Amino acid sequence: MSTQHVFHPDQVEEYVASMRLGVDFLADALRRVDGPATGVLPEVAAKAVTDVDLDRPLGDQRAALEEMGRLWLDDTIWFHEPSYAAHLNCPVVIPALLAELFVSAVNPSLDTYDQSVGGTFVERHLIDWAAGRIGFGPGADGIFTSGGTQSNLQALLLARDHALSLGASAGDLRILTSRDGHFSVQKAARMLGLGDAAVVTVATDGDRRMELGALSRALAETTDAGMTPMAVVATAGTTDFGAIDPLPEIAALCEGYGTWLHVDAAYGGGLLVSPSRRSWLAGIERADSVTVDFHKTWFQPVSASALVVRDARHLGHVTWHADYLNPHDPHGTGHPNQVDKSLQTTRRFDALKLWMTLRVMGPDTIGSYVDRVVDLAAEVGDRLEADPGIELAARPQLSTVVLRPARLTEQQADVLLPVLRARLYESGRAMVAATRVDGRRWLKLTLLNPLATVDDVLAIVAELRGAEVAR
Ligand SMILES: *Cc1c(COP(=O)(O)O)cnc(C)c1O
């Protein structure tokens, strides 16, 4: 049996050579990039992959890298390209990539102290820091998660169990969120056994923020009907419009009803470090729980997210006693563990990426990137507003621009917009997303690249026009 592939002191040369090979291979690929995509079609991509016989190894790293290049990397999507403007993917920062090297190779698991030692405290210190940025007091706590979906699920689990502990009955629990709230709220309601009907959708105002009158009525109606509004999920940065729900007013309503306030800041969480726009999140400190996705507006590689709660005691709802993980501690070593606060057991040390980012770059630099993309969206919005050929669904609020060619009937939009989007992808020159707003089709630019300029983004719009003319 050969053990030459095991990461081990005897294999240091092999390890270093392997990493160098990989870094050079990636650097070469990066230098060759000329566009966010190559436009490869799913049927072509699938065939190349499924043709591989996994029972016949290549036995050689270079050959395997070259094969991987053909199967995936050569046609991958590059999020650092200024003409990539589709989803909430960010370009990543290099200090986080440096951390990733250690995360995978050392491979600690953050569930218990004896699998991570100082890593436990790195994560805890970051959570305390993030809680401080939110404005929570010393009683706060939280946990890194795999993403906003998991953070929202855990938040709603805590809210549910909190409501049940106060005597509510499970069949009567309701979650209130705006119609632009993220679909992971609906999914969480299902997974928590509350059912689809448990989510009450609240109307939005002209800026697509949760409408306070509608929330107030929904709270009153829910309680009048003998049900328990177990949580309000306010969104700080909706996925399509970047709208930030009016947090102070929502918090006041929640306080009046004793309702758990969860703020889904998966997208808008980067404003916590914005040197000029932190005030946009005013009121977030009155939440019971907050979701922040570091892999969106903090320029971290996937996965990196956190759930932060105002009162650490609520995390006890996910604690399960397992003797082999947290045995009674006869010697009083008091070893801390994180598994008690998490839905996961084995868990990556994703916190190290944010740690290295903060230690190298500092929060202001990350925040200045956020400011940059918010400015960019605003400038692009102004330019397009003045363009008679383009219709905007709304004024950009965070870093999205929802647009389409002007003067389309809905029937024309239904036919044209998917074609335009596909044309752009297939050209490899730009990528945009599609969405529906009140049943109408739109295209969406999500701007998360601090290197992109107004001209870069207007060039994407010009590509859309070109594709329309070529129709
Ligand atoms: C992206 C997003 C989520 C889901 O986060 P993942 O990290 O993709 O699981 C939840 N809420 C909002 C508002 C989002 O933008």
Q: How far is the CA of 195 from the centre of ligand 1 (A)?
A: 21
E-assigned strand segments in 179-304: 199-202, 228-235, 260-265, 289-293
The string of pLDDT tens digits covering residues 104-139 is: 999 999 999 999 999 999 999 999 999 999 999 999
Closest CA to 383 of 470, 445, 469: 445
Asked whether residue 333 carries a pLDDT value surpassing 90, the answer given is no
The per-residue pLDDT for range 296-323, each reduced to its tens digit, is 999 999 999 999 999 999 999 998 877 7
Pocket test for ligand 1, best of 296, 302, 343 (most atoms within 8 A of CB): 296
Q: Which of 145, 186, 239 best tests ligand 1's pocket when mutated (most atoms within 8 Å of CB)?
A: 239
Residue 250 host element (H or E)? helix 247-257
Listed by start position, the domains of the chain span 9-78, 100-360
For the cut 90, the answer to whether the pLDDT of residue 326 exceeds it is no
Q: Which two tokens stand for residue 113?
A: 């102290």
State how far the Cα of 141 lies from the Cα of 239, in Å rounded to an integer: 26
Nearest CA to ligand 1 atom 3: 148
Q: What tens digit of pLDDT does each residue of 16-72 get?
A: 999 999 999 999 999 999 999 999 999 999 999 999 999 999 999 999 999 999 999
What is the rounded distance in angstroms from the CA atom of residue 176 to the CA atom of residue 201?
A: 6
Residue 471's pLDDT is 60
> Which residue has the least CA distance to atom 10 on ligand 1?
148
**pLDDT per residue over 165-201, tens digit each?**
999 999 999 999 999 999 999 999 999 999 999 999 9
Whether 274 lines ligand 1, by a CB cut-off of 6 Å, is no
Cα gap 387→229, rounded to integer Å: 45
Atom of ligand 1 nearest to the CA of 267: 15
Q: How far is the CA of 469 from the centre of ligand 1 (A)?
A: 35
Is-contact 248 337, C-beta < 8 A? Answer: no
Instruction: List beta partners, residue 435.
Output: 442
Answer whether residue 332 shows pLDDT above 70. no
Determine the pLDDT at residue 68. 98
Question: Is 300 close to ligand 1, i.e. is its CB under 6 Å away?
Answer: no
pLDDT in tens, 265-297: 999 999 999 999 999 999 999 999 999 999 999
The answer, as to whether pTM is greater than 0.85, is yes
pLDDT in tens, 134-155: 999 999 999 999 999 999 999 9
- 241: tokens are 């419009």
Report, in this order, helix, strand and coil percent for the chain, each rounded to 5.
50, 15, 35
pLDDT for 328 beyond 80: no
pLDDT above 90 (res 470):
no
* 53, 376, 456 from 401: Cα distances, Å: 44, 10, 14
And the tokens for 69? Answer: 């290049």
Percent of the chain surpassing pLDDT 90: 93
Q: Provide the pLDDT for residue 329.
A: 56
- Mean predicted lDDT score pLDDT of the chain: 96
The answer to whether 247 and 236 are in contact (CB under 8 A) is yes
Confidence of residue 3 (pLDDT cuts 50, 70, 90): confident
Determine what percent of the chain is predicted with pLDDT higher than 70: 97
For ligand 1, the distance from its centroid to the CA atom of residue 107, given in whole angstroms, is 26
The Cα 88–Cα 79 span in angstroms is 10
Which phi and psi (to 5°) does residue 142 adopt?
A: 170, -170
User: Quick count: other Cβ atoms within 10 Å of Cβ 35?
Assistant: 16
Q: From the CB of 182, is ligand 1 less than 6 Å away?
A: yes
Would the CB of 266 count as within 6 Å of ligand 1?
A: yes
Q: How many residues does the chain have?
A: 471
Residue closest via CA to ligand 1's atom 14 equals: 266
pLDDT of res. 2: 81
Task: Please report the pLDDT score of residue 349 as a whole number.
Answer: 98
Distance 302 CA to ligand 1 centre (A): 12
User: How close is the Cα of 54 to the center of ligand 1, in Å?
Assistant: 34
d(C-alpha 115, C-alpha 158), whole Å: 26
| Alpha-carbon span 159 to 280, nearest angstrom | 25
Report which of 365, 386, 384, 366 is spatially closest to residue 376, judged by C-alpha positions: 384
Which residue's C-alpha comes closest to atom 4 of ligand 1? 148
Q: Does domain 100-360 have CATH number 1.10.3720.10?
A: no
Q: What is the pLDDT of residue 320?
A: 81
- Sorting pLDDT into bands at 50, 70 and 90, what band is 327? low
Nearest CA to ligand 1 atom 5: 148
Instruction: Examine the pLDDT at 429 and tell me if it is beyond 70.
Output: yes
- Cα angle for residues 186, 320, 104 (degrees, 5° grid): 80
